[in-house]
Structures are given as structure tokens and as C-alpha cells.
A = this chain, B = another copy of it.
């Protein structure tokens, strides 16, 4: 009856979050299985099947849940897809952050950035697989969401170039246009890299080299650009 008791136990549960992993409250548990669903979807994508080939039952099976449980977290597959898009967005943001933190190699800044990117694509390959697959394939809503995310990424990149003092005479609009070009080139390269027969490091080298050169062309053109 004493009102403090329940408060205390609640608090205890809430505070114990340090040991075990990350909480036991009801909402936390729910959030955790939601994440489990998302990660199961990513795992399946990583295991080969494209996003469009994904089925609700497959995902819940992978997550160890009954099919009906899916509806407690997402209205339909597209909603799960949108969560994946968002996850793709944070991955890209992390990429930028990391590139910023590492600082740009003094001489060959382009090749350096590409190396970081290459590592990122390899490490979070499922995410890039998803984006590459759903960018043209998925439902309308998902394609739009991906486009939005790409655009945000391009803006952030333009902002970074600004702060870095690269291409100082270009207008913001032009910078944005150029970063858009860079982004599509990046995503296209990711898709190519992921489809490389593994082992053939020579083919990978060539592909990366081609990628670097394409970016060089873009920045060469950007430096030459005159707004009017």
C-alpha cells in the first residue's frame, strides 16, 4: 500500500540497466525485439536475397517469433523497409563523421576518402546491399525515402566541403549539385564492389582505381566550374 515501494522496485529495475544488456522495462523489451526484426531482415539481405524478395514470415522466422508478432511492431513490410532506410541514413552520417575525424590525408585526399568508404561498405555490407537493391527496386515510398536520405547526405557533404575550404568560389546550390553527383557515383560503386567475386583482389583494386578516377574527374570539373 505504501506508494514508495513500487516506485522503488521500478527504479531498481530501471537503474540496474548497467549489468545485463540494456534494460528490462516493457518498452525497452519491445524496442529490443523491434531491433531484432530489423537485424533479421538485414541478415537475410546479407545472405543473398534482395529486399523485394523478403517476406514477413521469413523475417519473423529468422527472429524467432510467430508471424503475427510482426504486426506489433510494423504495419507492413514497407514500414520495416523505412526503418532500414533510416538505418542506412545513420550509416552514411557515421561515414562522414569518421572521414571528418580521421582528417583528410594532406596529399591524396580523394584516395584516402575512398579507402574509408571501401572499409565502410565492407563492414556494413548488408546495409549497402539493401540501399543498392531498394533504390530502384522497392516500393514507391521506399525509393522516395532513400532519395531523401541521399539528398540529406549530399547536403551534409557539401557543408563539410565548405568548412574545409574546398571549392570556395562555388555557390551552395552548385556544391549541392556536385555532391549529388558524387553520392550517386558512390552508391553505384558500392553496388559494384559488393558484387565482386570475392578473393579476386586484383579486380577489386581495378574497380577502386576506376572509382577514384571518376571522382577525380568530378572534382576536376567542379574546380573548373563557373557560376553565372
Partner of A221, one of B52, B192, B224: B224
A137 contacts B by Cβ under 8 Å: yes
Interface residues of A in 29-68 (CB under 8 A from B): 50-53
Closest chain B residue to A137, Cβ basis: B137
> How many copies of this kind of chain does the complex include?
2
Interface residues of A in 193-218 (CB under 8 A from B): 195, 210, 213-214, 216-218
Bound complex: CA A143 to CA B195 (Å): 9
Q: Which of A18-26, A117-125, A179-187 contacts B (4 or more CB under 8 A)?
A: A179-187
Partner of A185, one of B132, B181, B192, B225: B181
A220 contacts B by Cβ under 8 Å: yes
Given known A-B contacts A178-B217, A213-B177, A217-B181, A137 and B222 have beta carbons under 8 A apart = no
Given known A-B contacts A136-B191, A137-B50, A220 and B224 have beta carbons under 8 A apart = yes
Residue-wise interface mask of A (147-168) relative to B, using a CB-CB cutoff of 8 A (1 in contact, 0 not) = 1000000000000000000000
Closest chain B residue to A131, Cβ basis: B136
Partner of A137, one of B136, B174, B213: B136
